[in-house]
Amino acid sequence: MLEIFSLTDLIGTLSYALIALSYMMTRILWRRVVAVVGLLLEIAYFRFSGGDLKVGIGWNSIFILINLFLLVLLVRERASLRLPEKDAPMLRQSFVGLDDAQIARLLKAADWRDAQPGEILTQQDHAVDSLFFLCSGRASVEVNGSFETYLEKGSFIGEIAYLTGNLATATVVIDEPSRVLAFSKQRMAKVTNTDSRIAGIIYELLGRDLAQKMRRSNTRRAVSYTHLTLPTIYSV
């Protein structure tokens, strides 16, 4: 019986499968690791195949060195990224889907603020320079001068203005002593543009937050009106 798939063919197939898999991976660290393993197997495949493959092996060696260099940089960067110890549990719970290093990288785009009652985070029909995340405390939402609802810890503030670039749709005022993360739009853009995983999780969290606010808005209006009306999506 003819040998359809030799050991050399198996090594070659596995090497190209790993290289292809590395292109589909979203986690940069593992993408580099899988790419290096795939390239090493490809060199082994070249050697077992015979023939003059110096050019192919030479270029693969260059690609391996590049990936190893980038791996060292990634490992060093991750080693330097640490979450604030007292805030780590809250941050992990709030930004599910991101590892500690990614959350720490995200925090580089933010400033911690201790907000006091009466402090205005967003003002209706005014530009919003930051995306806020309420880590603790409470804020009240006003639309056209009328109270709408309260925002509790774990809420984003300014997400509509952040996503659309439009003016704030509501005024949000701190109601009790609160701790807030203020994400700069410019610094946030740098982080999300360089890490697709962080960008995807942030947009997912913002979408979930908006959906929850829409449900609460629909519930309030269902109580207030007997006919269907479109909800006001507040904040910002």
Tell me which of 114-123, 147-156, 171-180, 216-225 is least confident: 216-225
The last residue of a domain, from among 58, 80, 102: 80
CATH code of residue 98:
2.60.120.10
Which of 51-65, 84-98, 127-141 holds the top average pLDDT? 127-141
User: For 87-114, how does the pLDDT look when each residue is reduced to its tens digit (9 = 90+)?
Assistant: 899 999 999 999 888 899 899 999 999 9
The predicted structure's pLDDT at residue 171: 95
Asked if 189 and 163 sit in the same domain, the reply is yes
2 in any annotated domain: no
The predicted structure's pLDDT at residue 2: 45
Which of 37-41, 52-56, 138-142, 229-233 holds the top average pLDDT? 138-142
66 in any annotated domain: yes
Three-state DSSP state, 16: helix
Query: 158: domain range?
Result: 88-224
Asked if 51 and 94 sit in the same domain, the reply is no
Total count of domains within the chain: 2
Asked if 128 and 185 sit in the same domain, the reply is yes
The predicted structure's pLDDT at residue 139: 96
232 in any annotated domain: no
Q: In this structure, how many other beta carbons lie within 10 angstroms of the beta carbon of residue 64? A: 18
The predicted structure's pLDDT at residue 45: 81
The predicted structure's pLDDT at residue 94: 93
Reference 154, options 221, 232, 86, 92; nearest CA is 92
The last residue of a domain, from among 19, 53, 80: 80
User: For 167-191, how does the pLDDT look when each residue is reduced to its tens digit (9 = 90+)?
Assistant: 999 999 999 999 999 999 999 999 9
209 in any annotated domain: yes
230 in any annotated domain: no
User: For 10-22, how does the pLDDT look when each residue is reduced to its tens digit (9 = 90+)?
Assistant: 887 888 888 888 8
- Chain center to CA of 55: 40
118 vs 234: which has the higher pLDDT: 118
Q: In this structure, how many other beta carbons lie within 10 angstroms of the beta carbon of residue 59? A: 11
Kindly provide the residue ranges of all beta strands, DSSP E only, lying in the chain, ordered along the sequence: 110-115, 120-122, 130-143, 146-152, 156-157, 171-184
Asked if 67 and 92 sit in the same domain, the reply is no
186 in any annotated domain: yes
Query: Residue 133 — φ and ψ, nearest 5°?
Result: -130, 125
236 in any annotated domain: no
* Tokens describing residue 188: 């946030």
